[in-house]
Every structure is written in structure tokens, then in C-alpha cells.
Amino acid sequence: MVAGWTGLLSLGHVGFYGIGAYVYAFRGVAPLRRPPAVPRGRRHGGIVTGAVGSLVGAVSLRLRGDYLAMVTLAFAEIVRNLAISLDRPVNLTGGVNGILNLDMPSIAGFEFREMGAYYYLIWGLALGILAALSRLRRSRIGRAWLAIREDEVAAGSMGVSVFGYKLLAFASSAVLAGMAGSVFAAWQGPCSPESFTIQQTAILYAMLVVSGAAGMPGIVVGAAALTILPEWLRDYGVYRMLLFGVLLVLVMRYRPQGFFAAVPRRSRGAGGGPGPAPARAG
């Protein structure tokens, strides 16, 4: 929604991911009434991250390009450093150790305790979100986002509220990031700041670059490929990340639109070759 459809370069979604995880770990609205390292309750992170995303977007979306990227990246680092520092004078986040012994997630009384159950939970959530996004892209909102990506001035002249739709994309994606963070915290068990570093942002955008940011089937395949590929490269030891980086550079050089993105067909003439060039005015 942010990078592919609206054309915004935001590097702060790992911050919303971390907020969603910590919100899941906190107990109710008064964490001071319990030992932070032993949470008993849970709360969905989507609502909180949506509110935070709206506040951050209201300030940062007035910037463009590299400036927006720097501000959102700073936000992600602020979230991580707060998670480390809020262990004194009152221990809220557990510091570098994080919050341990999280409650198991449950739906209608069924607790997800086995790895197989988490597998179906994560896939169910992912497929549900993809189905919703597929319908959203074909809606009026999705068309407005695509119009903003192509030309903000033209979209605004046609009556599209450019800032409003940008803020909607930013806040909606923050909700999804918070939901993913909540599921991640429940699956991992402990919730610690080391899980929400700039490396996670780099991996996320590598998936976007490799797969093509605007196509959802490509995103699924690209995410799977960049999850499996580093495991295949483990046999190369210290050269693992070097090879990984070289492969990403090759993709950006020869497939800048994304490795799994559809390439538009060129019009062909009667002889099978490229069609004639358009006539120039004058």
C-alpha cells in the first residue's frame, strides 16, 4: 500500500511491527500493576499501531522522497531504543532482555500451542489480508492510491485528496504491521528489541525490490524466495551475505521492475518485429 501503490518511501514499518509485538506483551492498559516480565494478558496491536501510524503520518507525510525515508527510519530506531531504555526507573519493557513468558494466542477458546497450529494461523491471516488487499486495489481507494503514485498534481486536480489518501495508506499499513508484530510475539514467546532492528527493514525492502512492489502474487513469491535463499547460502559461511547482496544487485540491474513483476508486451509490426515508433509532433 505504501511503497507499491502510493509510491511513498517509508522505512519505519519495523517500528509499527515492534509496537504491535509489545502491545501484545503488555497486560491491559496498566502495565505498572504487574511484573513486566510476566505478562498475563494480551491486546491486539493493530488498533494502537493504527493510531500511532496516523500521528506519525500526519507529521512525516508532508515530506517527500529521501526526507520521508529518513524521518520514518528515525521513528523505527526511536521505537527500538525506547524498548531498550524503558526498563528504568520503572521496568516497563524489560530492557534488552525484553518481556518473557507471553500468553498463547487463542481463538474461540482454542489456544495455539503447537508449531503446526501457528502455521495455519499465520497462513490464514496472510491469505485473509491478501484477499482484502486484492479487493481494495480495485476499489475507489486503491485507484486513488495508484493515481497519486503516478502523478500527485494530476490526481489532486481530479479531486483526489492527496494528503488524506496518503495518510490512509500509511495508517492502514501500520495496522497490518502491528497485527503481524502481535502474531510474531505470540509465536516467538519472548519479545525483545533485537527482533526489530534496521536489518528487518532491509529484508522487507529487499523483498519489495526483488518481487516488484505493486503486485501481490509477486510479493508472496519474493518473500518466500528471500526467506529460503539465505538458508541455501549457509554452506558458504562468511560469504553468505556477500553472495546474497550480489544477487540483489543483479536483480536491480537487470530486472529493476522486480524479478516477479509482469513485463509489458511491446506492440509488434506485421513482420513480427517491434512496431513503428510514434510520430513526433511537427
pLDDT-derived band at 227, boundaries 50, 70, 90 = confident
pLDDT at 163: 93
Residue 39 pLDDT > 60? no
Nearest one of 170, 42, 37 to 101, comparing CA atoms = 37
- Give the pLDDT score at 91: 80
Task: Summarize the confidence of residues 271-282 as an average pLDDT.
Answer: 45
pLDDT at 187 over 70: yes
Mean pLDDT on 240-244: 78
Distance CA 11, CA 236 (A): 30
The C-alpha atoms of residue 165 and residue 145 are separated, in whole angstroms, by 7
Q: Which pLDDT score is estimated for 27? A: 56
Residue 109: all three cell numbers together = 477458546
What count of other Cβ atoms lies within 10 Å of the Cβ of residue 240? 16
Domain limits, the chain = 13-196, 197-260
What stretches of 100-239 show up as alpha helix (H) in DSSP? 115-137, 140-150, 152-157, 162-188, 198-211, 216-232
* pLDDT given for residue 260 in this prediction: 63
pLDDT classification of 268: cutoffs 50, 70, 90: very low
238: pLDDT confidence band, cut at 50, 70 and 90? confident
**C-alpha count within 13 angstroms, C-beta hemisphere, residue 211:** 23
Instruction: Output the nine-digit C-alpha cell for 199.
Output: 536489518
**Integer angstrom CA distances of residue 268 from 70, 205, 263, 272, 280:** 44, 35, 15, 6, 19
**Pick from 133, 107, 131, 128: nearest CA to 118:** 107
DSSP 114: S
What share of the chain has pLDDT > 90, as a percent?
Answer: 22
Whole-Å CA distances, 234 to 41, 225, 237: 38, 15, 6
Mean pLDDT of 30-53: 57
Please give the pLDDT value at position 148: 92
pLDDT for 28 beyond 70:
no
The residue with greater pLDDT, 149 or 26, is: 149
